[in-house]
Structure 1
Amino acid sequence: MLNMTAIQTEDRASGQASNGVEHVLTLDCPEGPGIVHAVSGFLLEYGCDIIDNKQFGDRSEGHFFMRVHFASDGNESTLDQLRAGFSPVAEKYNMKWRLERNGSRRKVLIMVSKFGHCLNDLLFRARVGELPIEVVGVVSNHTDHQALVDWHGIPFFHIPVTAATKPQAEARLLEIVDELDVELVVLARYMQVLSDDLARKLDGKAINIHHSFLPSFKGAKPYHQAYARGVKTVGATAHYVNAELDEGPIIAQQVVEVDHTFGPEDLVAAGRDTECKALSNAVRWHCEGRIILNGNRTVVLK
């Protein structure tokens, strides 16, 4: 198959700088000959310049994954023209695909309970432009972080949750998701288990941070579980939410070394940075169109 990275390198060597409107095409389809040629041919036909390309062929499962960042001449209407032009190519190869304007900020709703380090980290990264997101609201079952959220000028929604009120609380959450046109829900140490029904409704658009290196130490108090087992490494896992507790497709993981001198609270402290980094990576990769779900796994085209 044609090597698009080589095309990119040749273009750069000839001194052709990309200009115009930039887009990202992400796709996956059954493996087969001619896919890269078809994509590059389409881009050539529409006068597009490839800036970056990542691809992966899973030969064991016969599936192909691709992300192309490219520039085209034109204006805002160019995106619709490109989508219409690419549809026949996608149909021919049975592709699942997404074509978006590069740099588009996704509307994100953050959910948090009493631990605020991941919330604070995401709000800061969004504020300084490190993440391509617009935080449109924060939902919490406590009011501990309302002042922080208010300082950022972001709507804060207090939704208390008990066993008796959980259905009403989740219904209110879905109302907020619809009202704010939310594209991604981020559970930033939101210490409530979502119902199976809610998890299904948020399938593929909700990311959770779990404070352990999954699949080890699922459920409650994973750092205390890690201490009891005398581990020498603790970590955090960002994953998509599904109906199984802490079983969703893994996106990003971070670890830190520890030793026998670390008590449970020391492990909690050591793990905070890993939680923030794993979650921010997962949010960025999702919003940049770098993640493709592959069953209960993910392909991350970095």
Structure 2
Amino acid sequence: MERVAVLGAGSWGTTFAKVLADAGTDVVLWARRPEVADAIDGSRVNADYLPGVVLPENLSATSDAGKALAGAQAVVLAVPSQTLRGNLTAWRDRLPADATLVSLAKGVELGTLKRMSEVIREVASVPEDRVAVVSGPNLAKEIAAGQPTATVIACTDHDRAVDLQHACSTPYFRPYTNVDVVGCELGGACKNVIALACGMAAGLGFGDNTVASIITRGLAETARLGEELGADPLTFAGLAGLGDLVATCASPLSRNRTFGERLGRGDTLAQAQEAAHGQVAEGVKSCSSIRELAERLGVDMPITEGVHRVCHEGLDPRVLTAALLGRERKAERE
């Protein structure tokens, strides 16, 4: 794989573009704002999202999607989950034939309740074996700084996953392959919601026991949803499940954890969003779509339900804590 287009120049899109370039792949990064693309080409830095990180010479930037897509063997979609459909609709006629479409977005679409790979397949009219997803403990600033991490590239076509694996393997970024797209996507989507709950607990002054309990029970409800949708249970014990969950729930670099912490300290949703300075906490919207999906399938997801009620129904996080602790006692693996 010699040339890859990355559409979306936020922190994770820019970081993944850097990983690809460091692995020796030529990369064109599309930025929505021309001034961001010009700054990247001129200074080799995306100052808005990764200040101080020098980008490789084999990474170029443009605000022209057609120019970015021309000749690309893979197209990496690095836009927020709830904007994926609209953006991809604008790009689909320019997608190169047989290019692998790669989702970095982690969420479930509001309204349709589709996973990101399902949105891509529907909008781009491509078979499932052309769509891959990337998931794992992927805190952008640490990876951009060259700190070691691992990730999962999931695709039903194992050969495509291997091609992507080779295209983004570096001394600091170790990708594994997986064919369980459903499990990897659900792990990535649900962990944002669980991280909001962990942040709320921290904002209320609770310690590590509380956070560890939320992480563990959050993983359990994610696995229940995955089982109902046909995911491999072992996926949730791996990088796209437990690995991503721990990083997102525990790190101050996690937007969802930080957002939840503000809510726990008493901020309103609007105040927390203002403090985020335009950074998207995906779990704020995904909690509603995941909750609706769980209800449709008859899956019990009490943490997700509670996060939705805090974010969108005005529930006090302290009431959520009491409600979770007051649930009916039962066996752990019931």
User: TM-score per shorter chain, which class?
Assistant: 0.3 to 0.5
The structure with the largest helix share of the pair is: 2
In terms of Rg, which structure is larger? 1
TM-score (norm 2): 0.30
